[in-house]
Amino acid sequence: MTPVALTIAGSDPSGGAGIQADLKTFHRLEAYGESVITLITVQNTLTVDRVEVLDADLVQQQLDAVLRDIPPGAAKTGALGNAAIVRTIADAAASFKFPLVVDPVLFSSKGFPLLDAEGRTALIELLLPRAFLLMPNLSEASDLAGISVTDIHSMRRAAEILSTRGPKNVLVKGGHLQGEAVDVLFCNGQFHEFAASRIKTTHTHGTGCTYSAAVTAELAKGTPLPDAVARAKTFITRAIQWAPGLGSGTGPLNHF
């Protein structure tokens, strides 16, 4: 059976982040990709100029169409825009028969809000309890756990706190740490660490999207969680290492 992976996320016309990054990642990792679009950004590697959030009923219709015909083996969420969309996804997720990876995107890499305040509350209350895996970066982990997350110790603490809010597993990403890029996974009451040496680069646009898409592709293929994270970490590290150097700003990764 062909593994199928679904992304529920926003569009980045420059192709580095959002659904475009997710679909490229699914393809490279040999999962058939599907995408439900939540919002459209106008951006390139330099700026985000505009964000248009779609109607929740349009998101719902896209999701229904996909689920009734080609149900995925795993799905991820990225930018969700507002509370109505978060509610739509959370309601649908109650009957998902596959794991849901939640990348709690609050801002674009350039700091443009991709989820409003009411949406953030809905994400915490309604979507986190439906998540198989929550993948916050340091600032999202600080925001959602309500503690300052700056090192491995506080990453572990944040993962534990967040796992009491519903997600089965939590992966706190240390891409913004000083020194080694260490990610902390809290899974079945145990901590796992995934380390990679830091790559000196400015081309990191879409790193979070690509990483969560890689985990989702692996889960769609039936890879058990700690191995799925390990493979995704290798993929993301190589994608950063071999970035094609496109654009005049924060450039995209190498999804090949």
Q: Which residues pair with 252 in a beta bridge?
A: 205
Residues 64-103 that bind ligand PXL (CB under 6 A): 78-79
Cβ–Cβ < 8 Å for 38, 8: yes
Q: Establish if 108 lies at the interface with ligand PXL (CB under 6 A).
A: yes
| Known catalytic membership, residue 179 | no
Q: Which two tokens stand for residue 211?
A: 């990483």
Residues 209-228 that bind ligand PXL (CB under 6 A): 209
Nearer to ligand PXL, 39 or 92 (CB): 39
| Known catalytic membership, residue 38 | no
Phi, psi of 31 (to 5 degrees): -115, 140
Piece of the chain touching ligand PXL by CB under 6 A; list 82-90, 105-113, 195-203, 218-226? 105-113
d(CA 61, CA 54): 11
d(CA 38, CA 86): 10
Piece of the chain touching ligand PXL by CB under 6 A; list 8-16, 27-35, 122-130, 145-153? 8-16
Query: Which residue of 77, 88, 109, 210 would you call a contact of ligand PXL, by CB under 6 A?
Result: 109
Q: Which two tokens stand for residue 27?
A: 């393809």
d(CA 256, CA 49): 28
Strand duo 133-134 + 169-172: pairing: parallel
| Known catalytic membership, residue 25 | no
Active site residues: 173, 204, 206-209
Q: Which residues bind ligand PXL (CB under 6 A)?
A: 9-10, 12, 17-18, 41, 43, 78-79, 105, 108-109, 114, 208-209
